[in-house]
Amino acid sequence: MVGTTGSAIALLGLMLLLGHISWRYLRPVITTLQAPLAAAGGMTLTLYCAHIWFLNSDYDIYSAEVGYTLQVIAVLLIGLAWKATAGKGPLETLVAGVSGRSRSWVATKTRHKPKPLPVAPVSPAIPRPAEPVDTTRTPLRSVRPGRHRRSSAEFRPKWPRRTIRRWSFRSRTRFPRRKPPWSCRRCGSPPRSRRPRKQPWNSRLSPQTGCSTSSPKKTRMRNRAACFRLFAATLLVFALAACSTPPPPPPRPLALVYRGPAACSGCAESVATLLQNSPSHFRTKFVGPDGDETLSAATLATAVVYAQPGGGSLDPAWRKMRKYAAIIQDWVRGGGTYLGFCLGGYLAGATPGFALIPGDTNSYTDTAQATVKTTDDTIVTVRWRGQSRHMYFQDGPVFQLRTGASATVLATYPNNTTAALATTYGRGRVGVVGPHPEADQSWYSDADITNPDGIRPDLGYDLIETTLISPSPPRAPPPVGQDRHLPDIFGKCRAPC
């Protein structure tokens, strides 16, 4: 605040100093440079309202620097063009008219009426004796009623004699002395001053005498009509701007994120941030025991995506999520999208889990030739779409698909086991990942580890977008009521808990 105030005062002082420079070679340059600034300063209310409207419209698609530069250029050009053609800004004219009317009304109501002066008593007139009529003199010429004979002194001008030329050397004719030059064309009265005064553009007064050429009633009606036209033009401009505004974009899709005892602290918030910053720009809402709403069929019906974040061990989490299994299965089968991160990937399996993928899950640390043998927080190397990448890992799952299962494998571990995939379930879609693409800087700082690739959420975005537009053909859902026990890859069948 202090820096902004100081900059404004310094700029104001600089402009005042430039206004006092009178060098004949530099003055035209300064005047030219100050003309756009002066024009924009004469319509600040209009330009500020246009600036607020632009910032809240869909046309503001530029970055901060580019948008600021374009707005400054537009303000200078529009102000200069408006000043040269119309003069005062539209909103400034409207405010000035309203304030002028209010001031005149208040002045009329509060004007002090002078008290009448006392009238002195008049003595009765003494009649004069009538004069005798001289019949020997020639009678005077009759005068038309309403006219009287004026002396030659009344035809003389009301200003000094030296200002009237008595003789014209070019035409050798006398100027008429009955009416001085530059008198009022309507009433013939002499001017009030030697220099004609300047009148407003809407004035109907004589520029020399100030004599009104129209009645006060006509003047009031003319001013009202001008204000009405100005108000109508302002409304028309705003109406055209509103019509030219593109329709508002459709509301962003809603994504539900589970938050409760089956999720770790901070995992739900990281998944929500990943969904919000993804190319689809989801709106997020937390559901579950610790969320904003309960996890139910009615809540899932309002969303496009349901995300299950990471958490603790599988068996305790399944005991807390078992009551939601049928609801989630029916919603995904009807066209919903399920995203599972780490523990959410475990729960997408069948033993135990929601049985949303064509196969089952197992711990990556228990597979043969695994590069990670600990359950601590660490970094794991994966091949994501053929490129080697490093990801945050903490005892994540490996996805074991059935032979001939339809799925899009996005990433594999170094032992060629599946680390991330996208598939379908009924009319819905399922995307799961073993590592944590949603991990931010705080995760690495708490675990005191470093990612060689840096903190890059592009893998999480790829998982979300691939799942939403999964090209895999939909597979037929299992019949209602059929047991969803899936055989393990080792040949034995494991029923859910």
Higher pLDDT among residues 78 and 419, named by residue: 419
187 in any annotated domain: no
Domain annotation covers residue 495: no
234 lies in a domain? no
What is the pLDDT at residue 485? 39
Domain count, the chain: 2
Residue 275 banded pLDDT, cuts 50, 70, 90: very high
Concatenated DSSP letters for 166-221? S--TTT--PPPSSS-TT--TTT-PPPSSSSPPP--TT--B-TTT--BSS-HHHHHH
* Domain presence at residue 280: yes
Domain-located, residue 90: no
Integer Cα distance of 413 and 245 in angstroms: 50
Identify whether 35 is part of a domain.
Answer: yes
Work out the widest C-alpha separation in the chain, in whole angstroms: 161
CATH code, domain carrying 342:
3.40.50.880
Residue 169 pLDDT exceeds 50: no
Q: Given a cut of 50, is residue 202 above it in pLDDT?
A: no
**Interacting residues of 194 by C-beta distance below 8 A, sequence separation 6+:** 159, 163
What pLDDT score was predicted for residue 119? 62
Domain with 459 in it: 254-468
Proportion of the chain above pLDDT 90, given as a percent: 37
The residue with tokens 């840096």 is 454
- Residue identified by tokens 């300047």 is 198
In a domain, 74, yes or no: yes
- Alpha-carbon distance of 84 to 105, in angstroms, equals 32
pLDDT of residue 220: 63
In a domain, 33, yes or no: yes
Pair of tokens at residue 442: 């705080």
Of 49, 84, 119, at which residue does a domain stop?
Answer: 84
Read off the pLDDT of residues 331-373 as tens digits, 9 standing for 90 and up.
999 999 999 999 999 999 988 899 999 999 999 999 999 999 8
- Mean pLDDT of all residues in 71-82: 84
Which domain-ending residue is among 27, 55, 84? Answer: 84
- b/e map 351-376, b = 16+ CB within 10 Å: bbbbbbbbbbbbebeeeeebebeeee
